[in-house]
Amino acid sequence: MALVPYDENLVPGLSKLHKSSAEFEFADHRLRLAQDWSGLGVAGVIWDAAVVLCMYLELAPVNLKGRTAIELGAGTGLVGIVATLLGGNVTITDRKPALELLRDNVKENIPSDLQGAVQVSELTWGEGLEHYPSGGYDLILGADIIYLEETFPALLRTLEHLSSMESELLLSCRIRYERDKRFLRLLESLFSVQEVHYNEQRDIHIYRAVRLKGKTEL
């Protein structure tokens, strides 16, 4: 449950200019995450999709215990941190500029006995995928990562590379534009996609996807 959920409506205002922090309570832990809009833009703040995905992971029957998970486009790392606290072995990823803040947030919010269950690493969609095990993750997580049409083919390639027939993909997002729906249709070329949750207050959808049998080519 979020103690002080991030309010996206504040972004166009003063909060844009400053570094700040946001507090949450998830998985019986009090979390305090640093944000840095001025330095990192969209990667430096916590989006509603992340908060709603954490609520879903905590309350819904998503089993993380002992499972391998990877978070894509993690930004400040809230989802990956909560997934680790819920028992997952989690790789939290984003582009290089976001990694310093991510590492700081992981260090601050994951107790020392769980630090071995989490790693932060660079992953720009579609690049250097050979560094990540093909089909190597039980759970692939992404909050508010469907928004740049030019990244859609690389994002889909990344999801294909990371997933096996047994993997589960959970994507949370606000549908802002037609192009967001276009990505979901693209996703359906390789995955069976189902909406499993809608948070009306925050207008956030969560989609669960599993690989379609026999579909391996883009």
Closest to ligand SAM by CB, 19 or 212 = 19
For the chain, give the DSSP string: --SS---GGGTTTGGGGSEEEEEEEETTEEEEEEEEHHHHGGGGS--HHHHHHHHHHHHS----TT-EEEEES-TT-HHHHHHHHTT-EEEEEE-GGGHHHHHHHHHHHS-GGGGGGEEEEE--TTSSGGGS-TT--SEEEEES----GGGHHHHHHHHHHH--TT-EEEEEE---SHHHHHHHHHHTTTEEEEEEEEETTTTEEEEEEEEPTT----
Closer to ligand SAM by CB, 95 or 161: give it.
95
> Where in 23-82 is the site for ligand SAM (CB under 6 A)?
42-43, 46-47, 49-50, 73-76
Binding residue for ligand SAM, selected from 24, 125, 137, 191, defined by CB under 6 A: 125
Instruction: List binders of ligand SAM among 127-156 (CB under 6 A).
Output: 143-145, 148, 151
Task: Between 36 and 144, name the residue whose CB sits nearer to ligand SAM.
Answer: 144
Q: In the range 78-107, which residues lie near ligand SAM by CB under 6 A?
A: 94-95, 98
Closest contact distance (angstroms) between CB of 41 and ligand SAM is: 8
Residues at the site binding ligand SAM, with contacts judged by CB under 6 A: 42-43, 46-47, 49-50, 73-76, 94-95, 98, 124-125, 143-145, 148, 151
